[in-house]
Structure 1
Amino acid sequence: MEAFVGILVDTLNSMIQKESGLLCGVATDMENLARLLSTIKAVLEDAEQKQFTDKAIQLWFQKLNGVAYEIDDVLDDYAAEASRVKYKNSGCFSLMCYPIAGNLVFRHRIGTRMKEILEKFNAIADERIKLGLIDQNRGSNHFQVDSTGTRETGSLLKEPDLVLGRDEAKDEIVKILVNQVRDNQNVSVLPIVGVGGLGKTTLAQLVFNDERIAKHFDPKLWVWISEDFNVKRIIKALINSIRGTPVEELELDPLQRKLQELLRGKRYLVVLDDVWNENLEEWEKLKSVLECGSRGSSIIMTTRMEKVATIMGTLQTYYLSSLSENQCWSLFRQRAFGRQEAEEYPNLVVIGKEIVKKCGGVPLAAKALGGFLRFKRQENEWNSVKCSEIWNLPQDTTHILPALRLSYLNLPVELRGCFAYCAAFPKGYEFEIEEVIHLWMANGLLSSNETMEVEDVGVAVLTELYYRSLFQAVKEDEFGNALTFKMHDLVHDLARSVMKAKHGGTESNRTMILGMPDDQLTVAFPITITGIDQCFSFLSKCGSLRALMVKSMESTQEEFTKLSHAISKLKHLRHLDLSRSLIIELPNSICDLWNLQILNLNDSLILLSLPKGMRFLRNLRHLCLHGCWSLTHMPSGIGKLTCLRTLGMVVLSGKKGFRLSELRDLNMLRGGLTIMHLERIEDKKDSEEACLIKKQSLHGLNLYWDSERTIQRYNDKEVLEALKPRPNLQLLRVLGFNGSSFPSWISTVTEVVVHESAAEYIVGV
């Protein structure tokens, strides 16, 4: 919250400075608001420390959040109106220098809202005194990142976790599974029981990946369960794991038969991770389906609950013990000191061992505490953790929450909102790097600095949260770079508790929904709409919506094929995710979304065209079109979107529509770019004017000619020569090229892939 309030103060001050007295009666109110916000911001650290135990402060936070979002909306409206008029009046150079004074209705509305908000902020500022909130100068506990920093922010390398004290447990479980005698049953169930954060999942992974298990069981399947013990979902997940492709069947009976076909006669191993189900009937439904393998088939299930183990287990329960103090210290030391020798800091070692005693032998606690002390080398910083009052707060049944609360309270203020926001994801949800960064951007949780763009700051934030063990890397590429992340369920509980304290949040089936008035329902969170009827009725209530993700309804196979024109009412929308939809075309009203920064249409397989007015989306930074292979053409004017960082694909037209020369000024493009229908280029000059060589952040280029073209222009070689990219491009794919030879610049590309082309590309030639 402190970071968000800081951004509001900066925005207010920027507007006041730029408008030079032309704010038409609201300048004074803006100045007063900026002062009030600065006063409130000064006590937010004290409020953060006290919020977990003081309900009155939680209510104060909720009021502050609501009013802060109101002022954010007002500033949004003002800036949007200013920008619109700026583009209509080309003679104006300053954002604020426009004849808004003539728009009496708009002036009156803004002025009235500002005065109402100012009154609310005055009340909130007065209340801080009654609550005894004081200014706590945190000094340097801010997130400092720049492009020349010593920490890597360009890629996320998955650090190998040090797994301690579990070799004996692993061997014992492997022997049980491999050597047990089964006379009367086709499948045995081994429960692993322990408190949250103790390492049950880690132990199951060690067993799952052991060579002895790989030789004994085939197939090996893993399903994460959590609170939702849905038999159909579990069966679908098992089928998907075996086949490697999603199953489309929705009815339970055929799904059961399909799974039995795949498992019959095989000695399989299934891991059911994090089970909470106490319903014997539901378990029997699943178990009856799984009793089809050959003798020796086994199920490992992990749970925190003894009752669940009793219901499901057929073998003796394995109770996972806590780590010893020495093991816990080794894990903490690895996280806190990294590659440095702990012995270089003898005083910190003494304090650190005292901290470890408070971890209760729980690995997650040791990793989290070591993670946030990783780059701290002052004794007072370590002592503040050891002596924190958090350890003395009433604990719930997990024992882990005090350590995680300390991790949260020691986050730099700029990271707290980003961390807590992830409570919007369901437990166990794997999120991609760009996905979460785009959502942070849309909700105003990130800001750029002098040396880094906002997306790069987002990568740095994600990296930091990972280093602090608040995020876990799940999937990685062949080079060890993390691709997807998730939160441990206890860490997710922490994020959810923070959001509930500050926003009064409640949880629905798929997302966190804020308990606010309808017009502020989703300022801080995305809402997942799961049904066409829901969508159209819901849109009219979401004037403050920042992020909207439209998903199909799996249970009914209902798909979105058309987007309502009501989308234009979401004037504050910054992130619209329509990926994997069956939409054929988008309404032109989408081009009224002046603030839109991210439009994700990835894998919209039957999307035929984009709206003609795309050129009006001047704030668009990411137009994600990967996999939109049905696009027949694109509108002209894309070249006016000079904020674009991502443009997944362009489809060339003839004389009308999008031309390659429109890429001329889009020099901030990054990532990959696909250019379709290069055979439609009549003059190589059009290719030259694309100026690909100036796009220094592009790392991949896909150049496609239609291999079944009906018109032969015989200019492929000249066109490709003119499309010369920056030196050292990482990847070039060429399809349907009919030129006699490749240009010389192709030798500078790191990797070249050629398909269905007349000329043969020979490496080194």
Structure 2
Amino acid sequence: MAEALVSALLEQITTIICEGALEEVRLLKGVKEDLRKLKFNLTSIKALLEDAEQKQISDKIVQLWLDRLQEESLDMEDALDEWRTVLLYRPTDGVENASFLQRKVCLFLRCFSFRRVYRYHGIARNIKEINERLDEIAKDRVRYQLTDTPSRLPKRKESTSFGDGSNIVGRDEVKKEIIDHLLCETSNEGETCQTISIVGMGGIGKTALAKLIYNDEEVKQHFTSRIWACVSDIFDESKVAKTIIAGLEGLDKAAGLQTESVPLNALLERICKSIEEKKYLLVLDDVWTENDEDFGGLNVTFKCGAAGSRILVTTRKDTVSRVMGSSQTIHLETLSQDLCWSILKKIALRERDQKSCEDITPIGLRIAEKCKGLPLVAKTLGGHLQFKTTRKEWEDVLNSELWRMDVVHKDVFVPLLLSYYDLPSPVKQCFKFCAHFTKDTAYFTCHLIAKWKAQGYLGSNDGDDSLWELKGLDYLKCLEARSFIQIEDFNPLYGQYADCRMHDLVHDFALFLTKGEFLEEVISEGDKSMKMNSERTCRHLVVTLESGLSVRKKRKE
């Protein structure tokens, strides 16, 4: 996405202006002013990006606007890299200790050496042209009704407790495990209420499993009260408190509460009174906040219930589980290919005759592989295939890349976009770079951090390698906490050599965000050269050699 790249460019431009890197090109008319204008334009556009990135999901025109901005941002990055390269190799011997007049003369002569002035003029002209195009992009903000204070669009449909869960497959064992924890009467000393967390990436079925447990007959009989509260990404303690009251007292008694302005303290006292001496089950679905103070008042209130009360939390973040003080954390695993196929075919082959089903099943099984264990993908592809009647149409879906399919953008990538928006800006850039991963391949964390450093994503640390590594590890942990990366075989002594992997769907999502910036070429035996059928937006090339091949240097004659 453009927001992370624009933030990085602003940092580079600010550094160039502040550190006096313009000194050698001061004599080139308008360069300094062009850079300042470039910074102003980028700062203005950056304020609109949150609004634009939300609207692009449903507005193709805004998506095209962001694509234009992304392309210009990448051109700016190249121009600034070229500028820094020229400055890096400028001769400085003896200049620092010279007098002011000598220094000016040296800079004058150096600037007007033919080769150097040619390069400076080229860079300056490039920046001026980019600025002009950026002006046009900035002017389009009015046409697309982009604002710097976006009204947050509904990002996620509010979940409810309704549904019998009859269409959920493959979760029997984990359902039994969680219910056993919920019904167990023993608890830690002094604890009235215990918290159990279900953790997993978007689309893996956390909410569906919680709903299945919430409506289980044994659970219904065990608890005096059951409350379902969808928390979602913007945490509001008063709103959550009102939802809990509505669940405890019923909609009739709590009517009008949502529109009334009631002090938080009064809401908490009302909850405390309602759950006093009651054994309750509270489901907090889709919790994002990692700030333990957000639940400060509610956590005290939850202790007013009877012993044996339970809170069931669903979240994408391990850190939320720790902040909530969970006594049990269940990491939800992906489903098998056969289970994905059972979900997919139930939707896709509905009302098909047996002959048609038999003809399509072999292709369907291979399509189920593309789901990579995620029930949301299986449901989405099933709904998409429901209207595909011929074998050829199913084969087209099989041969399509997920990240290029519009139906996946709308239904599957939206949950991942929520996790992406939640990332700090510098980490977004690091995540996008992971699009160069090869699927089903593990990478040393130290190698990935080194690549981030080489790209300039880790900022400036005055050459201290230990600081680079610490910042890189922090970014990796941030990505792991949101299930974007899995770190395997972590050892505190050799942490930098741990393996990291990406789920295939997350990789497709990274490719979707980069939109052709990364090109992978596979070289097989007999290939004379790379085909390089790349898009204009390609900025990174990954070359993979088939097993047994190697790169040989051409011997000079």
* Structure-1-length-normalised TM-score: 0.37
Q: TM-score, normalization: structure 2?
A: 0.49
The structure carrying a bigger helix percent of its residues is: 2
